[in-house]
């Protein structure tokens, strides 16, 4: 079975600084990759996904993630964060025909 | 509405009582998940239903927990003889199959408090 590791449980960062939230997965077969976000006191929602094609995918609010097959990673990045990006971010992996598996989550804390 | 609906939104119960939580997935979604999220914690997988296949119950923490799903519609999560450590938000999510299988739509959750 595949597993997903988010190495950082918390990432504090100052506003307008760049950020990278790390995600690594283990699978010997092709997978689909996702990032979900949970803003304070809200439900989870899909942020972005990689299914195929270009290895760099973007969200509408400036986040991007790059699929790196050789490193089995799907790190989430943003060049300049806002206070409003404070949230819990979950990486997830799906192997065809299986269920979605989530990582443990990373709490992004943006400070003024 | 067109989203995933969960009820009750809040439930306060006494230790030892049974509770039943309900999830109405989006119509046409073949996959349904239950998760538990304790305060300030990540998602704890409980159970997964996919179409008419046998559910994956590997995440249920004890035999006090059980879940059923009627076809590809409503699901109920039952917790028997509740304990204080069962206090959490219980989240339900549903998705389509195939390439859309990773696009989960979450409900607002059922917040359970066991006194």
Domain boundaries, chain A: 3-111
The answer to whether B83 and B15 have CB atoms below 8 angstroms apart is yes
Chosen for mutation from A43, A53, A65, A98 (greatest number of chain B CBs closer than 10 Å) is: A43
Chosen for mutation from B102, B105, B109 (greatest number of chain A CBs closer than 10 Å) is: B102
Architecture label for domain B5-114: Sandwich (2.60)
Query: Residue B37: which pLDDT band, with cuts at 50, 70 and 90?
Result: very high
What pLDDT is recorded for position B12?
98
Q: Is the pLDDT of residue B113 over 80?
A: yes
Strand partners, A94: A32
Q: In this structure, are strands A106-111 and A10-14 parallel, antiparallel, or unpaired?
A: parallel
Contacts of A100 in chain B (CB under 8 A): 33, 95, 101-102, 104
Q: Is the pLDDT of residue B99 over 80?
A: no
Q: Is the pLDDT of residue B1 over 60?
A: no
Chain-centroid distance of CA A44 in Å reads 13
Q: Say whether residue A102 is in contact with chain B using an 8 A CB cutoff.
A: yes
Question: From CA B65, how far away is CA B54, in angstroms rounded?
Answer: 17
Q: Is the pLDDT of residue B53 over 70?
A: yes
The answer to whether A94 and B104 have CB atoms below 8 angstroms apart is no
Residue range B35-64: mean pLDDT, rounded: 92
Tokens matching residue B45? 């997988």
The answer to whether B100 and A90 have CB atoms below 8 angstroms apart is no
What pLDDT is recorded for position A95?
76
Please give, rounded to a whole number of angstroms, the shortest distance from the CA of B79 to a CA of chain A. 22
Q: Which residue has the higher pLDDT, B18 or B100?
A: B18
Q: Distances in Å between the alpha carbon of A67 and those of A1, A24, A44, A56?
A: 19, 10, 22, 6
SS3 category, B60: coil
Tokens matching residue B52? 């008419």
Q: Distances in Å between the alpha carbon of B88 and those of A95, B20, B70?
A: 29, 14, 25
CATH number of the domain at A3-111, out of 2.60.120.10, 3.90.1150.10, 3.40.50.1970, 2.60.40.10? 2.60.40.10
Question: From CA A31, how far away is CA A9, in angstroms rounded?
Answer: 23
In chain A, residues 35-64 whose CB comes closer than 8 Å to chain B: 36, 43-46, 49, 51
Element (H, E) at B94: strand B88-95
The answer to whether B91 and B26 have CB atoms below 8 angstroms apart is no
Nearest residue of A to residue B49, measured between CA atoms: A99
pLDDT per position in chain A (112 positions), as tens? Answer: 558 999 999 999 999 999 999 999 987 777 899 999 999 988 899 999 998 888 889 898 999 999 998 999 999 999 999 999 999 999 999 876 678 899 999 999 999 9
What pLDDT is recorded for position A2?
59
């Amino acid at each position: 079975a595949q597993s997903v590791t988010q190495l950082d449980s918390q990432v504090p960062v100052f506003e307008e600084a760049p950020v990278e939230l790390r995600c690594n997965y283990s699978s010997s077969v092709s997978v689909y990759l996702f990032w979900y976000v949970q803003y304070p006191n809200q439900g989870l929602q899909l942020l972005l996904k990689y299914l195929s094609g270009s290895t760099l995918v973007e969200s509408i609010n400036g986040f991007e993630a790059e699929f790196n097959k050789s490193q089995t990673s799907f790190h989430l990045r943003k060049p300049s964060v806002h206070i409003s990006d404070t949230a819990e971010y979950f990486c997830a992996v799906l192997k065809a025909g299986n269920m979605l598996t989530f990582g443990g989550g990373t709490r992004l804390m943006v400070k003024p | 509405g067109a989203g995933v609906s969960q009820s009750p939104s809040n439930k306060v119960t006494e230790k030892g009582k049974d509770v039943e939580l309900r999830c109405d997935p989006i119509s046409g979604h073949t996959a349904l998940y239950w998760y538990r999220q304790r305060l300030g914690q990540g998602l704890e997988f409980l159970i997964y239903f996919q179409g008419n296949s046998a559910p994956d119950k590997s995440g249920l923490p004890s035999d006090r927990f059980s879940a059923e799903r009627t076809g590809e519609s409503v699901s109920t999560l039952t917790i028997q003889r509740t304990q204080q450590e069962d206090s959490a938000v219980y989240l339900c999510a549903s998705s389509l199959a195939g390439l859309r299988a990773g696009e989960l739509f979450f409900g607002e959750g059922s917040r359970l408090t066991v006194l």
